[in-house]
Structure 1
Amino acid sequence: MTAPPLPASPVIPPPSPPTRNRWGTAGVWALSIVLVVAAWGLTQVQKPDDAPYDSFVSTTTVGERATTRNLAVTVTRVRAARSVSDGDRWHADGTWLVVDLDAAAVVDQFGAALYVADLHLGDRTYSATERGKSARGMILVTGVPRHGSLAFELPEGTLKGTATLEFAADYSTAADGVIQVTVDLDQVPLQNEVELDPTGWAR
């Protein structure tokens, strides 16, 4: 008697290869591009270590006191003239703007002086003259204002419109304070001659 044949094992077909999800791949690439662009933008916004930092600006007008970290300034008077002198030996003709001011250090008088004294008029910047006896570079004392005058020589016909005076107690104003004073030149009468106030203690 012969044994019956064993049943054949079922044939299992091999697994089919996984289908590629084109939308998923496109999403990964899109996300990668977005991240790369964002990283590039961040590097453009961040300043390098040696990049200059902006100044802290305190604005005011003539007759009003303004204070920064280590400087306090009050512009007491603004005069315009065709001739200027220091009351001693220096005299000069031209177009002049004379600025009388009180200035003091705030926290530290060591090395503090009126190093920056500029006038911004339109797209031009004029520095106070170094000629004669003036308050340019005037030594500052903590809490005790000193008085003096600054003279700016300007081109003929420029005594009009709005100008901005800028003062600082250090040549380097990056990440430090500066004081800006707005002046309406149309309200400053033109005189034939003015004399600078002597530099000394403010009254």
Structure 2
Amino acid sequence: MKRLYLSAAALAATLALAPAAHAAVVLSDNFDGEVADDLNWDGDAVFFVSTGSVDLIGAGGGFDLYPGNGRYLDLDGSTGGNDPAGEITSFASFGAGNYTLDFQLGGNARGGPARTTRVTLGDFSVDITLAANDPLTNYSFSFNTTGGQLAFRQLGPTNFVGNILDDVQLSTGVVPEPATWAMMILGFGAAGAMLRRRQVAYA
């Protein structure tokens, strides 16, 4: 029994010394690539506008609603009329698995009614409703999904004032590194061998 305890302690020490696992960033966009306002923005290397109209605004332009935050997107752009509000979709498609999504979302900051932004990736979906004066806030979601493209959609008809999106980052779930797996396997193997020896001794 004492040897078994020692083996378990050795296993715990092995896991404690194992290299820390980490998540890999698979998508990142802060929308700072363009200096001037781009009304009816058509996208960049990461996202394209898949529905309606989206405006790129912020620092250096005439519509800096959240000073100090660089460039960002108004998810209900300048087209207006009967067009739907905007949606951006990632060019990249992501496989099934665990992900963590981080982004900033704020209210329209122009006195418009509350607006709802829908965020989707495969079968993951979340709706966030913000009043006009809600500040730019960090959101983080960890989820398992069937996979697909990442999209942000402004729900409802267009009224030229949508929620503000910035600093989008998507990471894969935390997966142990190969060295961590090797140490875990060795540790469990040693514990299993000790149990077998103990069973034989009492047989």
Q: TM-score, normalised by structure 1?
A: 0.31
Larger Rg computed on CA atoms: 1
Q: Which has the higher contact order (CA 8 A, sep 6+)?
A: 2
